[in-house]
Chains A and B, each alone.
Chain A
Amino acid sequence: MKNQNTNYNQEYKYGFTTDIENIKAPKGLSEKTIKFISEIKKEPKWMLDWRLKAFNRLKVSKEPDWQKPKFPKIDYQALYYYSAPKSMKDKPKSLDEVDPKLIETYNKLGIPLNEQKKLSGVAVDAVFDSVSVATTFKDELTKKGIIFCPISEAIQKHPDLVKKYLGSVIPISDHYFATLNSAVFTDGSFVYIPPNTRCPMELSTYFRINASETGQFERTLIIADKGSYVSYLEGCTAPMRDENQLHAANVELIALDDAEIKYSTVQNWYPGDKNGVGGIYNFVTKRGACRGKNSKISWTQVETGSAITWKYPSCILQGDNSIGEFYSIAITNNHQKADTGTKMIHLGKNTKSKIISKGISAGKADNTYRGLVDIGRNASNSRNYTQCDSLLMGNKCGAHTVPYIKNKNSSSTVEHEATTSKINEDQLFYCNQRGLNQEEAVSLIVNGFCKEVLQQLPMEFAVEAQKLVGISLEGSVG
């Protein structure tokens, strides 16, 4: 076939850094660093105690080592745990006060804050490095009683809610990276939807890792009270850097009776160059608890970036009739490695879960789906359906499926199926014959392969994600 060896590799589009003077915490991980972070955030004592408790736990816990992608040892003492743009010290009251350089960065990223209000109806809580810059649409949300603010603000203004729910889904002793996050998290989002409220817009946050050698430790807490609904978007791009940067975020979702949370992620962090140098380590803990009856949590993720992606957005289905969903696309190219999947823990009666995972592996990449479906003794009439499909491009990459399925209840049904294959030659030939070149054809076929997941994304993301799927695989066919 023609074109076979053409290299269409597109360089990482969002690789740039903005030169802003940073305030940095003392280098390294110590009680001093944690106190520094806590102080700079003007946190109450209980919060500092909570952090220190996590830090003490961290001293005795070990990094997990069971995952497929191995990574070089991280020197936690060589990292900075806090950095904030200096101009943030006096919080800007309006957009005019925002550092023009920040605005410039956002414009390059395609988030025109000024136009955001009019255009999309999306309230953006933009996080640059670790501190939230501006929050739009606050008024409209406040009217409905919805709280959408940086978590540092929530700790001060809504301590009761934070105290009650923070760490209730991911306990501080969970595992090494979750504990690390609990000790040193800098900022993140807090969302509270009051009872019987439907959030009128898609809430969205753009995270961005900027300063070199700064691990980012975001903490997100979303609470949907009885009968409420919220859809939350998280999207990321990161500048091009040579050092490996660590990102260990924690995301906790809590859905009470009849509430629904939809959480969508598009992750496009710097994956390292063609030879596998650099790139982000994305070790994220995401977990949702369906606490109430008839509650629902739905995770959708498109993972195309990062040198190593290692995350398992999970659902704990505690409430009767609760529903957990997980839709995922993980694309790895060049030397990228992904080990991702989900856990569905069925505890309540009549609980349902659905897992659709699409893994695409090209170049020298490794892509693993790892998941757990656990039906407890009391989870009668529960149901799970899992489908994991993998697509391989070339014989230097790998695709793996590691599902754990546990069933302790005879009235429940668990179904799992997985396939691994390559792009069908006939389909490619057909597309070529209709005038599409090799790249376009692959992009089209892969988009079709991922369709079930892509259509779960909100409108704002769907278009971008489709492009991303194509871009991520360019240069991989041959």
Chain B
Amino acid sequence: MLNFKISSDEIDKIGNFTKEEKNFRLKNLEYFNDTGFPNKKNEDWKFSDLNAIVSKNFNKLDIQFGKSKKQKVDFIKDFEHNYIVIINGELTISDFRYEEKDKITLKSFINDNYSNRKENNPLINLNHALSDKGYFLEVKENYKFKKILVIYYLFTNDLDENILNTRNKIKIRKNSELHLLEYVVNDSKKIFFNNVHEDIVLENSAILKNIYLQNSKSSGYFHKYSINKLFTESNYTSFIFPAGLKFNKLDLEFNLEGERSECNLQSASFINNNEHQEIKTRVNHFSPNCRSHQNVKNVLNDESKGVYQGKIFVKDVAQKTDAYQLSKAILLSEKCEFDSKPELEIYADDVKCSHGSTSGNLDKDSIYYLMTRGLSQQESTKLLIDAFLNEVADSIKSNSIRNFIKTKLETQLQDGY
């Protein structure tokens, strides 16, 4: 049995802090040590018993690890792009060759928000206590990125039963626009835990388009908590292709603070082997005339488990809200499982809110039809899954990026099916 208690000495090992910060870290560590990794008794972790998963797979979880060696980065050649490289959570190099440099700020992250709140999610407290890496990216007012920015997240072989606590913040000022591809490249053959805290702020009329993609299968255990603030008329579109990790939980919170702000979340994943993946969203409509749209698609095979927990909250003042939530899952094997909890909590009357959730196997008639046209059963199944998942990627506008994503998804599918 793994001892989850983390000694307060670890905080001193990370660095020297002011008294205020140190107290903040100690307090949060205490909160985490009280609860440990969340188990299924915690409503938000009902379908993902992380405590059991960690106990089963890890013998230890070290905070310190050997200094990362210089890593050769395999840059994407399919399209021109700016890039940032993050190795094991640490910001290393960046290149904004297509942009005006004075419009962008990029630095290592320093936390300056010491809220002493006990979080319902102990992993957030853990991150507060131990975060020592990450980046801060800011796009100044009235600037539109000319090319996409790719953030390479590299994980090296130096990691072995380690836990990383990283913290990133992206701020997009008024009338600015950023297109982002978060690209995870995992070279580590060993298991490790990555605990990320992400903070995104979109000021008035800012636009952010984000694509999140895993390069290949790996044995990482990921948890990401992301809090996104959207102010008046801002627009956030996020495409998530999260598959390929042993355990992955994305806990995404969107606060629509300003009127007419809009958020759009699209996700497609093919999960197999014994992978466990959960997407949890909470969309808070705090202002009138906002729009939110979620579309989460999962295909499950082997002994995998997929979870979707989505919540739409509409405050009483948020009239004329348009909120939509859709979760679809295809179960291919006898031993896979899909659980969902699409939730609505609504206090305003003049709203249009709806959700749908389906899970089941592929339509037998469709397979039969394709087979009558000469395809084998396997080919027909693959074709249908392709079509099911590609719907999400198809809504990416840029041709070169869309094709790149589709090729990657294709390999994921090829490996898995």
| Interface set of A (CB-CB < 8 Å, partner B) | 66, 377, 390, 392-422
Q: Which of B331, B334, B339 contacts A405 (CB 8 A)?
A: B339
| A422 and B350 contacting across the interface, CB-CB below 8 Å | yes
CA of A390 to CA of B354, assembled, Å: 10
Q: Nearest-CB distance from B191 to chain A (Å)? A: 26
| B358 and A400 contacting across the interface, CB-CB below 8 Å | no
Interface string of B228-251 (1 = CB under 8 A from A): 000000000000000000000000
| A421 and B360 contacting across the interface, CB-CB below 8 Å | no
| B349 and A394 contacting across the interface, CB-CB below 8 Å | yes
Q: Nearest-CB distance from A419 to chain B (Å)? A: 4
B300: nearest chain-A partner, CB-CB: A410
B159 within 8 A of A: no
**In B340-368, which residues have CB < 8 Å from any A CB?**
340-361
Specify which chain B residues have a CB less than 8 angstroms from the CB of A405 in the assembled complex: 339-342, 357, 359
Specify which chain A residues have a CB less than 8 angstroms from the CB of B317 in the assembled complex: 395
CA of A415 to CA of B338, assembled, Å: 13
B337 within 8 A of A: yes
Specify which chain B residues have a CB less than 8 angstroms from the CB of A418 in the assembled complex: 342, 344, 354-356
| B333 and A410 contacting across the interface, CB-CB below 8 Å | yes
Q: Nearest-CB distance from B282 to chain A (Å)? A: 13
| A420 and B346 contacting across the interface, CB-CB below 8 Å | yes
Q: Which of A395, A396, A413 contacts B360 (CB 8 A)?
A: A413
| B361 and A410 contacting across the interface, CB-CB below 8 Å | yes
Q: Nearest-CB distance from B324 to chain A (Å)? A: 10
| A416 and B358 contacting across the interface, CB-CB below 8 Å | yes
Q: Which of A395, A401, A402, A404 contacts B349 (CB 8 A)?
A: A395
CA of A467 to CA of B342, assembled, Å: 33
Interface string of B136-155 (1 = CB under 8 A from A): 00000000000000000000
Q: Which of B43, B337, B361 contacts A406 (CB 8 A)?
A: B337
Q: List 15 A-B contacts (CB under 8 A).
A: A395-B348, A399-B346, A400-B345, A401-B343, A401-B355, A405-B340, A410-B336, A413-B360, A413-B361, A414-B360, A415-B357, A416-B342, A418-B344, A419-B354, A420-B344
| Interface set of B (CB-CB < 8 Å, partner A) | 43, 47, 316-317, 319, 329, 331-334, 336-361
Specify which chain A residues have a CB less than 8 angstroms from the CB of B332 in the assembled complex: 410
Specify which chain B residues have a CB less than 8 angstroms from the CB of A66 in the assembled complex: 43
| A407 and B354 contacting across the interface, CB-CB below 8 Å | no
B317: nearest chain-A partner, CB-CB: A395
CA of A377 to CA of B333, assembled, Å: 11
Specify which chain A residues have a CB less than 8 angstroms from the CB of B350 in the assembled complex: 395, 422
Q: Nearest-CB distance from B87 to chain A (Å)? A: 39
* Given contact pairs A395-B348, A413-B359, A406 touches B353 in the complex (Cβ within 8 A): no
B43: nearest chain-A partner, CB-CB: A66
Q: Which of A377, A393, A395, A409 contacts B316 (CB 8 A)?
A: A395
| B346 and A403 contacting across the interface, CB-CB below 8 Å | no
Specify which chain A residues have a CB less than 8 angstroms from the CB of B355 in the assembled complex: 401, 416-418
CA of A415 to CA of B340, assembled, Å: 11
Q: Nearest-CB distance from B311 to chain A (Å)? A: 9
Q: Nearest-CB distance from B265 to chain A (Å)? A: 18
Kindly list 8 other residue pairs between chains A and B, CB separation below 8 angstroms, not including A409-B334, A414-B358: A390-B346, A400-B345, A403-B340, A403-B343, A405-B339, A410-B334, A410-B361, A419-B353
* Given contact pairs A403-B342, A419-B353, A398 touches B347 in the complex (Cβ within 8 A): yes
Instruction: Indicate the member of B329, B343, B346 with the most A CB atoms within 10 Å.
Output: B346
B348: nearest chain-A partner, CB-CB: A395
Q: Nearest-CB distance from B369 to chain A (Å)? A: 18
CA of A421 to CA of B336, assembled, Å: 35
CA of A66 to CA of B332, assembled, Å: 34
Q: Which of A394, A399, A401, A407 contacts B339 (CB 8 A)?
A: A407
Q: Which of B341, B342, B349, B356 contacts A393 (CB 8 A)?
A: B349
Q: Nearest-CB distance from A401 to chain B (Å)? A: 4
CA of A317 to CA of B341, assembled, Å: 21
* Given contact pairs A392-B349, A418-B344, A420-B351, A403 touches B357 in the complex (Cβ within 8 A): yes
Specify which chain A residues have a CB less than 8 angstroms from the CB of B347 in the assembled complex: 395, 397-398
Specify which chain A residues have a CB less than 8 angstroms from the CB of B361 in the assembled complex: 410-413
| B338 and A421 contacting across the interface, CB-CB below 8 Å | no
A405: nearest chain-B partner, CB-CB: B340
CA of A402 to CA of B348, assembled, Å: 17
CA of A395 to CA of B348, assembled, Å: 5
Q: Nearest-CB distance from A146 to chain B (Å)? A: 41
| A407 and B359 contacting across the interface, CB-CB below 8 Å | yes
A369: nearest chain-B partner, CB-CB: B344
Q: Which of A401, A407, A419, A420 contacts B338 (CB 8 A)?
A: A407
Q: Nearest-CB distance from A420 to chain B (Å)? A: 4
Specify which chain B residues have a CB less than 8 angstroms from the CB of A422 in the assembled complex: 349-351
CA of A393 to CA of B347, assembled, Å: 10
Instruction: Indicate the member of A392, A402, A407, A408 with the most B CB atoms within 10 Å.
Output: A407
Q: Nearest-CB distance from B98 to chain A (Å)? A: 45
Specify which chain A residues have a CB less than 8 angstroms from the CB of B339 in the assembled complex: 404-407
CA of A417 to CA of B327, assembled, Å: 10
| B341 and A421 contacting across the interface, CB-CB below 8 Å | no
Q: Which of B329, B344, B348 contacts A400 (CB 8 A)?
A: B344
Q: Nearest-CB distance from B161 to chain A (Å)? A: 31
Specify which chain B residues have a CB less than 8 angstroms from the CB of A398 in the assembled complex: 345-347
| A416 and B356 contacting across the interface, CB-CB below 8 Å | yes
Q: Which of A401, A403, A404, A413 contacts B358 (CB 8 A)?
A: A413
Specify which chain B residues have a CB less than 8 angstroms from the CB of A395 in the assembled complex: 316-317, 319, 347-350
| B316 and A404 contacting across the interface, CB-CB below 8 Å | no
Specify which chain B residues have a CB less than 8 angstroms from the CB of A390 in the assembled complex: 344, 346
Specify which chain B residues have a CB less than 8 angstroms from the CB of A397 in the assembled complex: 347, 349
CA of A410 to CA of B338, assembled, Å: 9
| A421 and B351 contacting across the interface, CB-CB below 8 Å | yes
Specify which chain B residues have a CB less than 8 angstroms from the CB of A409 in the assembled complex: 331, 334
Q: Nearest-CB distance from B389 to chain A (Å)? A: 17
Specify which chain B residues have a CB less than 8 angstroms from the CB of A396 in the assembled complex: 316
Q: Nearest-CB distance from A405 to chain B (Å)? A: 5
Specify which chain B residues have a CB less than 8 angstroms from the CB of A408 in the assembled complex: 336-337
| B316 and A421 contacting across the interface, CB-CB below 8 Å | no
CA of A411 to CA of B352, assembled, Å: 33
B47: nearest chain-A partner, CB-CB: A406
Q: Nearest-CB distance from B266 to chain A (Å)? A: 19
* Given contact pairs A409-B331, A410-B334, A400 touches B343 in the complex (Cβ within 8 A): yes
CA of A413 to CA of B338, assembled, Å: 11
| A414 and B351 contacting across the interface, CB-CB below 8 Å | no
CA of A257 to CA of B178, assembled, Å: 63
B355: nearest chain-A partner, CB-CB: A418
Specify which chain B residues have a CB less than 8 angstroms from the CB of A399 in the assembled complex: 344, 346
